[in-house]
Amino acid sequence: MTNADKSTVPAGANHRGSAPSNVNPHVKKWVDEATKLCQPDNVYWCDGSPEEKKDLLARGVGEGVFIPLNQQKLPGCYLHRSNGNDVARSEQLTFICTPSEDQAGPTNNWMDVRQAYSKLKGLFSGAMKGRTLYVIPFVMGPLGSPLAKVGVEITDSVYVAVNMGIMTRMGEVAWKELARKGGDPDQPPEFTKCLHSVGDCNPERRYICHFPQDNTIISFGSGYGGNALLGKKCLALRIASYLGQQQEWMAEHMLLMGAQAPDGKKTYVAAAFPSACGKTNFAMLIPPEKYVKAGWRITTVGDDIVWMWVDKDGHLRAINPENGYFGVVPGTNYETNPNAMVCMARDSIYTNVALLPDGDVWWEGKTKEPPKQCIDWTGQEWTPDCGRKAAHPNSRFTAPVANNPVLDPAANDPDGVVVSAIIFGGRRSRTIPLVFQAFNWMHGVYLGASLGSETTAAATGQVGVVRRDPMAMLPFIGYNISDYLVHWFRMRKKMRDCPRIFHVNWFRKDDQGRFMWPGFGENMRVLKWIIDRSQGRAYAKETPIGWMPRYGDIDLDGLHMTKEQFEALQGLKIDDIKAEIAGQEELFLKLAGDLPKEMIFQRELLISRL
Ligand code: OXD
Ligand code: MN
């Protein structure tokens, strides 16, 4: 027996950590090859049990990866401080690796598939010496769902092992799901190979590579969520978007929520907002009191990713492939998102927040008054006047969906839920009204495709500039964007009754720079209009950009908003819309000759309406 075959982590475990006797031979072969390449000191196969989680956390504490928090206040919660150079997704170091550049398209970084494998082989060779290699089997999607996908992640990070245990259905269940999918024992079963090493966490040697045609992800040099928890952005969006195009379904960067009306009728809505535009807040929205009293309830199916397919009745159905939340913490508090606060109050991992003297955590916006002192996210003493942020602007919590007090009962339903409305939204301080509805699916796809948003801290780069972010998927489309847009247009043909499509902007500001809409729970008012429109109940007037509520069509009772204020919030200036169309040019030029003709038609129609 070689050293690498022995599982010595965690000590004393009864067979825990060794390969299950019935592991699929194709999986075993791949793990053996990776082990040979990476040369770890130990190999540990995760089973997903609660005992294992405890052991992994204890091991992480021993390694200094996790700091236990105040267990009275935050039972089961730990703090992790990442390397200062590794605090967000690294889009410039993220690659789609295919035989030809054209398959990755003009919006992705491309690497030749053979060159990528050879470069990565060099980086991974011996990379896990002195470390433990964890084998993490996981399922994306409710068990037994037609869309559920199995992945196996190999990593040398205990932080990744624990977080994958929260974010996915991890462990034994994955082997069962793989067996359920069955197939010919001689044929490799469909599973995504995910190979990850933090390496030396050097941005010069950081590569997040996707091989859609091989259903493979290889990530080196980063421990950050989106770069390292490979089930999330890498599998559930980039690889899944490609699989979806091949297999006629859709993987989208969307939240999924249920809204139950006082009459008990529930409507499910999916919404695509770019990173850090409040998807988690919207998905966990608490309606204003009068709505709650009237009997409205909002429930969360997912806060970041949906997979959607057309069922045999021609309806668009959706599941959330994830089993946890990886949410942004700054700005979250008991007023802005009480449900998120409850989610992260137990069994959660905090990454890059500040540590209070009593073992509690803090971040900007958690309380009105900052603490007198704390340890900041880099581990240094912090006081309010020190001129630095206590928590990193992209600090995160990882929490199980089961903690969510408003988790939708269908969250684990393999058949998912029927989607009645799709909402696109961005962070736009000017030009774009609070809400409008697309004329039809094709127009809605154009709205989604030309979505723009002011950039935030979730990705590295400049903050505050309008970036075109088609369907909020720009960093996540695992193939050529032209084919992706064509796929969206074509999905219409498969549906008998398609969801209505809307555009929202919670972030419009007046000339004094003040937000014109209160946002948060009050977004319920907009949601109600959207639901009523989807059910054919509410009125709207036709405008050049779509259907819009008039003052009086949307419930503003209790908001003290005058007709003039509402009209300013919904106002359209033709010159601004023209400038907006010019702003879309950047994307249109990138797509150049490959722009789907439907996009050109929709733009021409818009111009003709102005
Ligand atoms: C995320 C992101 O972490 O979109 O969800 O960046
Ligand atoms: Mn996201």
The whole model's pTM is what? 0.95
In the three-class reduction of DSSP (H, G, I as helix; E, B as strand; rest coil), residue 361 is classed as strand
Stated as kind and residue range, the H or E segment containing 44 is strand 42-45
Instruction: Identify the segments of the chain with pLDDT beneath 70.
Output: 1-14, 183, 456-462
Stated as kind and residue range, the H or E segment containing 192 is strand 191-197
Question: Which residue bears the tokens 């054209």?
Answer: 102
CB 306 within 8 Å of CB 141: no
Q: Whose CA is nearest to atom 1 of ligand 1?
A: 275
Sign of CA dihedral 544, 550, 551, 557: negative
Q: 437-465 as b/e, with b when 16 or more CB fall inside 10 Å? A: bbbebbbbbbbbbbbbbbbbbbbbeeeee
CB 270 within 8 Å of CB 254: yes
Residue 87 Cα distances to 77, 222, 394, 460, angstroms: 20, 9, 7, 8
| pLDDT tens digits along 557-593 | 999 999 999 999 999 999 999 999 998 888 888 887 7
CB 317 within 8 Å of CB 418: yes
**Residue 154 neighbours by CB under 8 Å, 6+ apart:** 31, 34, 38, 133, 134, 135, 136, 194, 195, 196
| pLDDT tens digits along 117-149 | 999 999 999 999 999 999 999 999 999 999 999
pLDDT of residue 586: 82
> Looking at ligand 1, which atom is closest to the CA of residue 328?
3
Q: Is the peptide bond before 10 cis (omega within 30 degrees of 0)?
A: yes
Q: Whose CA is nearest to atom 3 of ligand 1?
A: 226
Pocket test for ligand 1, best of 86, 304, 453 (most atoms within 8 A of CB): 304
For ligand 1, whether the C-beta of 279 sits within 6 Å is no
333 CA distance to ligand 1 centroid (A)?
A: 19
pLDDT of residue 479: 98
Helix (H) and strand (E) counts in the chain: 17, 31
Name the H helices within 467-514. Answer: 481-494
Active site residues: 277
The percentage of residues in the chain with a pLDDT greater than 90, rounded to a whole number, is 90
Q: Which two tokens stand for residue 295?
A: 């009997």
Please tell me the distance from the alpha carbon of residue 162 to that of residue 400, in angstroms, as a whole number: 11
pLDDT of residue 8: 42
Q: How far is CA 522 from the centre of its chain?
A: 23
For ligand 1, whether the C-beta of 304 sits within 6 Å is yes
Please tell me the distance from the alpha carbon of residue 282 to that of residue 519, in angstroms, as a whole number: 9
For ligand 1, whether the C-beta of 443 sits within 6 Å is no
**Residue 282 neighbours by CB under 8 Å, 6+ apart:** 255, 257, 271, 273, 523
The percentage of residues in the chain with a pLDDT greater than 70, rounded to a whole number, is 96
Q: Whose CA is nearest to atom 4 of ligand 1?
A: 275
